[in-house]
């Protein structure tokens, strides 16, 4: 075994060099199988590109499934793959529309649906595989992604890569510059752990759910928790009806946690799970409509609102939102407003807009193309944007649309032997329009 050495105050283990087997080569490799990653993989495969999707959890869907998010925002005006997902959920009876454009869905049905979409498109899926490294050539072109899994350490080569890991893990390991949190302080939006709950009757708790026609359901639910003597760390707790007597709840904030520190995420997850049980137990003690309330399952992964924002060829900024900026190479139209969950609980435990305004705006393809590494695109909340803009485009309705654009551009570039930024925009736009045919 190599010797342990000391560097400053830290012990360092020198890992012996070794040959890593190349598991497969593909036209496009997508890292991260959440909403953005699945859309990217399906879109890339539909261009005819051989596509591999690498996911760290045991199912596809990311925050939609492993995270039990259960609530999709800013999807109502989206076409292509997002509209297809909605239509296919409806055919399964697995979606419940709210009074607005947002809706809830059955996470277990979502798992199956996303796997079916990948299978139909011809995507090769590998679960339980986490990105741990990346390799570039001398011209700064990304050539390999390295994963760890039950199969050990493996390398995967491709012509084009898409980072849909949420936290920009692939891009960071490839050497891309990035930003984290608020400028100056680095404070990031808090994390939240979701849970599925049951034992309550829909007609008796309708006034407390986000699906119904009643006003201020969050405030009413907070009043019930306060009455039970269990004040949540998030001052706007939310209850979502999924189907029949199944509900989801989001009622906690984990402040000051870094999305790129495993120890901090572990602590946040366990604290959040403990809090959710305390809140649900408290409500149950009220009796009446809450007498049978119990947790069915807490999520396998805590919901991360904010991780790395990778430097791209274009950065979406607060000024873009204020002006409602449009782009010729627009790949996503964002309707969701500024949504900054409190980064400092001493100043409040809710959410707001920091006194800033926004109008509907576009995300251009350039914001999805890495600036520092060639052959790499981003999709989802790790694209190139500032702190304020990120708080708006980070929701999953937008992630899917960004994913389909990144996957389409990656597929076309891989098949033509060029880079995404060298493609003619009309060719990308035409391919995106063709996604309508897959409904």
DSSP structure string for 139-180:
TSBEEEEEEEETTEEEEEEEEEEEE-SSS-HHHHHTT--EE-
Q: What's this model's pTM, rounded to 2 decimal places?
A: 0.96
Domain boundaries, the chain: 23-183+306-338+354-438, 195-298
Burial class (CB in 10 A: 0-12, 13-18, 19+), 422: exposed
Burial class (CB in 10 A: 0-12, 13-18, 19+), 347: exposed
pLDDT of the residue at 199: 98
Distance spanning both ends of the chain, measured CA to CA = 56
**pLDDT tens readout for residues 391-410:** 999 999 999 999 999 999 99
CA atoms within a 13 Å half-sphere pointing along the CA-CB vector of 99: 10
pLDDT of the residue at 9: 64
Query: What distance in Å separates the CA atoms of residue 383 and residue 166, rounded to the nearest whole number?
Result: 9
CA dihedral 80, 81, 87, 91 (to 10 degrees): 150
pLDDT beneath 50: ranges in the chain: 1
437 close to 396: Cβ distance less than 8 angstroms? no
* Residue matched to tokens 């990948």: 118
* Residue matched to tokens 């995300």: 363
pLDDT of the residue at 39: 98
Q: Is the dihedral of CA 270, 275, 277, 278 positive or negative?
A: positive
Q: At a CB cut-off of 8 Å and minimum separation 6, what does 120 contact?
A: none
Closest CA to 39 of 424, 296, 380, 386: 380
Query: What distance in Å separates the CA atoms of residue 395 and residue 36, rounded to the nearest whole number?
Result: 10
Q: How many CB atoms lie within 10 A of CB 438?
A: 15
**Per-residue tokens: 74:** 């800013």
401 close to 82: Cβ distance less than 8 angstroms? yes
DSSP structure string for 249-302:
EE---BTT--TT-HHHHHHHHHHHHHHHHHHHHHHHHT-GGGTT-EEEEE-SSP
pLDDT of the residue at 1: 43
The domain covering 23-183+306-338+354-438 belongs, at the CATH homologous superfamily level, to FAD/NAD(P)-binding domain (3.50.50.60)
pLDDT of the residue at 5: 60
235 close to 190: Cβ distance less than 8 angstroms? no
């Amino acid at each position: 075994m190599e010797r342990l050495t000391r560097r400053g105050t830290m012990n360092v283990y020198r890992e012996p060099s070794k040959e890593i087997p190349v598991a497969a080569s593909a036209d496009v490799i997508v890292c991260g199988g959440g909403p953005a990653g699945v859309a990217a993989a399906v879109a890339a495969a539909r261009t005819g590109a051989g596509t591999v999707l690498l996911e760290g959890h045991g199912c596809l869907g990311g925050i939609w499934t492993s995270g039990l998010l259960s609530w999709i925002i800013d999807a109502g005006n989206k076409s292509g793959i997002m509209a297809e997902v909605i239509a296919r959920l409806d055919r399964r009876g697995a979606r419940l529309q709210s009074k607005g454009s947002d809706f809830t869905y059955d996470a277990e049905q979502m798992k199956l649906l996303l796997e079916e979409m990948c299978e139909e498109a011809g995507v090769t899926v590998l679960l339980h595989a986490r990105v741990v490294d990346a390799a570039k050539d001398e011209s700064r072109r990304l050539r390999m992604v390295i994963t760890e899994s039950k199969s050990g350490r493996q390398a995967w080569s491709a012509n084009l890569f898409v980072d849909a890991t949420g936290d920009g893990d692939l891009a960071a390991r490839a050497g891309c510059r990035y930003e984290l949190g608020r400028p100056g302080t680095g404070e990031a939006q808090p994390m939240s752990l979701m849970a599925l709950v049951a034992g309550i009757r829909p007609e008796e708790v309708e006034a407390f759910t986000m699906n119904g026609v009643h006003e201020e359901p969050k405030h009413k639910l907070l009043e019930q928790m306060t009455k039970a003597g269990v004040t949540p760390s998030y001052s706007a707790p939310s209850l979502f009806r999924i189907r029949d007597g199944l509900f989801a709840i989001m009622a906690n904030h984990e402040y000051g946690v870094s999305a790129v520190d495993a120890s901090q995420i572990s602590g946040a997850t366990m604290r959040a799970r403990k809090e959710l049980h305390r809140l649900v137990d408290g409500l149950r003690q009220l009796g009446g409509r809450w007498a049978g309330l119990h947790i069915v399952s807490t999520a396998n992964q805590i919901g991360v609102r904010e991780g790395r924002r990778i430097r791209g060829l274009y950065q979406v900024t607060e000024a873009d939102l204020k002006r409602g900026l449009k782009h010729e190479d627009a790949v996503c139209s964002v309707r969701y407003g500024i949504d900054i969950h409190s980064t400092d609980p001493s100043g409040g435990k809710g959410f707001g807009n920091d006194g800033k305004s926004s109008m509907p705006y576009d995300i251009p393809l350039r914001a999805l193309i890495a600036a520092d590494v060639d052959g790499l695109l981003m999709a989802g909340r790790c694209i190139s944007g500032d702190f304020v803009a990120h708080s708006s485009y980070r929701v999953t309705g937008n992630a899917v649309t960004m994913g389909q654009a990144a996957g389409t551009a990656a597929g076309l570039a891989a098949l033509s032997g060029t880079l995404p930024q060298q493609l003619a925009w009309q060719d990308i736009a035409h391919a995106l329009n063709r996604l309508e045919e897959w409904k």
